């Protein structure tokens, strides 16, 4: 037949190359899907075979892609070194190892793995805080982290109420949702934990059994911790002269916290071994509260700065009495750093 070399025999159609690619690369996320869809378009016009292979490549690659990307998204919803931190629960100890790409743009995120607290670990989870009721939209990383610090300190006070029993290098830390994780609703919970310095080989739990506290011990720690938690709300600026409004607000809050602590101490009848130290502590707390009130009402930045410094000096002296109170109550009476950093 003239020109027969240019006629394609439909009885023996060839296999579509894109369909072969879809099956061959089905294990690579996204590749099998793209190749399979391309193959179906080409086959529609060319009459080639391979429709079954194309569909198989799409199906297999969809499963692979969902599994891999789903894992990456789960790891990306938290900032910091805990890719699986969203699953950590209170009283769990964990290590970190391995990493994945943070799809939200946060860089490399490591995975967290729970271990028994009797084994070497990086951190111990003190609690979880759900940020959903607090904001209608993502507040930004700085606001999120500042609030996380406050809430994690509160959870730590409940988890280990006697902060003087904690190691001096213990630090309250947290994993917070990324912007993408929070906005999508995938995760809005902050996971709080304690870490000793930069150590990844801590052994033992810091959890304290509150049922073992006497009523006097529990009352004292409640008053002390309420004051410490307020103290942690200190403004970011170093001195009042750089942010007077913030320091005046802080001074007012500290004055109220000091009075609340004094009233709590005064309202209770303390054991003889602690009565004298408690009275001296009350006087120091009262004086510090007076200085905080003056700082809040001072007419100029220098005055606020002066009274803030005075309150700090008095407060430091009052804490010396706290050791005597604790000794009389049978609590820890020495610690290199009684104020836990956040």
* Nearest one of 107, 223, 96, 99 to 161, comparing CA atoms: 223
Half-sphere exposure at residue 114, Cβ-oriented, CA atoms within 13 angstroms: 11
Check: CB of residue 247 under 8 Å from CB of residue 304.
yes
What is the reported pLDDT for 129?
Answer: 95
Half-sphere exposure at residue 296, Cβ-oriented, CA atoms within 13 angstroms: 14
Task: Count CB atoms within 10 A of the CB of residue 236.
Answer: 9
What is the reported pLDDT for 111?
Answer: 64
What lies within 8 Å, CB to CB, of 75 at 6+ separation is: 83, 84, 100, 102, 109, 111
What is the reported pLDDT for 47?
Answer: 59
Please state whether beta strands 170-175 and 123-130 pair in parallel, antiparallel, or not at all (unpaired): unpaired
Do you know the residue count of the chain?
Answer: 342
What is the reported pLDDT for 7?
Answer: 37
Over residues 43-72, the pLDDT tens digits come to 656 556 778 887 887 787 776 665 555 444
What is the reported pLDDT for 95?
Answer: 83
* Nearest one of 52, 15, 59 to 33, comparing CA atoms: 59
Task: Count CB atoms within 10 A of the CB of residue 238.
Answer: 9
Over residues 182-203, the pLDDT tens digits come to 888 878 888 899 988 665 578 8
What is the reported pLDDT for 98?
Answer: 47
What lies within 8 Å, CB to CB, of 262 at 6+ separation is: 282, 285, 286, 289
CA distance 13 to 81: 54
* Positions of the chain with pLDDT lower than 50, given as ranges: 1-12, 70-83, 98-110, 336-342
What is the reported pLDDT for 108?
Answer: 33
What is the reported pLDDT for 17?
Answer: 75
| Tokens 């890719």 belong to residue | 83
What is the reported pLDDT for 202?
Answer: 82
What is the reported pLDDT for 227?
Answer: 95
**Token pair belonging to 183:** 């906005």
């Amino acid at each position: 037949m003239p020109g027969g070399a240019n006629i394609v025999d439909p009885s023996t159609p060839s296999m579509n190359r894109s369909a072969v690619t879809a099956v061959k690369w089905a294990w690579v996320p996204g590749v099998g899907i793209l190749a399979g869809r391309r193959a179906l378009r080409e086959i529609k016009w060319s009459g080639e075979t391979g429709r079954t292979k194309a569909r198989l490549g799409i199906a297999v690659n969809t499963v692979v892609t969902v599994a891999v990307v789903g894992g990456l998204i789960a790891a990306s919803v938290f900032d910091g070194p805990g890719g699986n931190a969203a699953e950590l629960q209170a009283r769990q100890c964990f290590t970190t190892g391995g990493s994945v790409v943070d799809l939200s743009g946060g860089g490399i995120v490591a995975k967290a793995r729970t271990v028994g607290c009797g084994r070497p670990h990086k951190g111990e989870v003190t609690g979880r805080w759900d940020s959903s009721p607090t904001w209608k939209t993502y507040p930004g990383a700085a606001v999120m982290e500042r609030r996380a610090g406050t809430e994690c300190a509160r959870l730590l006070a409940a988890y280990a109420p006697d902060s003087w029993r904690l190691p001096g290098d213990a630090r309250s830390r947290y994993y917070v949702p990324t912007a993408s994780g929070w906005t999508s609703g995938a995760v809005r919970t902050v996971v709080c934990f304690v870490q000793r310095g930069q150590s990844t080989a801590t052994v033992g739990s810091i959890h304290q059994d509150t049922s073992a506290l006497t009523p006097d011990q529990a009352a004292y720690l409640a008053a002390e911790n309420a004051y410490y938690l307020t103290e942690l709300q200190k403004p970011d600026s170093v001195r009042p002269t750089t942010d007077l409004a913030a320091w005046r607000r802080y001074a007012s809050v500290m004055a109220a916290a000091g009075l609340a602590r004094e009233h709590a101490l005064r309202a209770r009848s303390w054991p003889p071994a602690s009565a004298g130290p408690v009275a001296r502590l009350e006087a120091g707390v009262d004086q510090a509260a007076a200085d905080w009130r003056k700082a809040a009402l001072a007419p100029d930045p220098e005055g606020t700065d002066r009274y803030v410094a005075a309150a700090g000096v008095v407060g430091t002296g009052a804490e010396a009495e706290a050791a005597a109170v604790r000794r009389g109550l049978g609590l820890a009476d020495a610690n290199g750093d009684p104020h836990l950093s956040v």
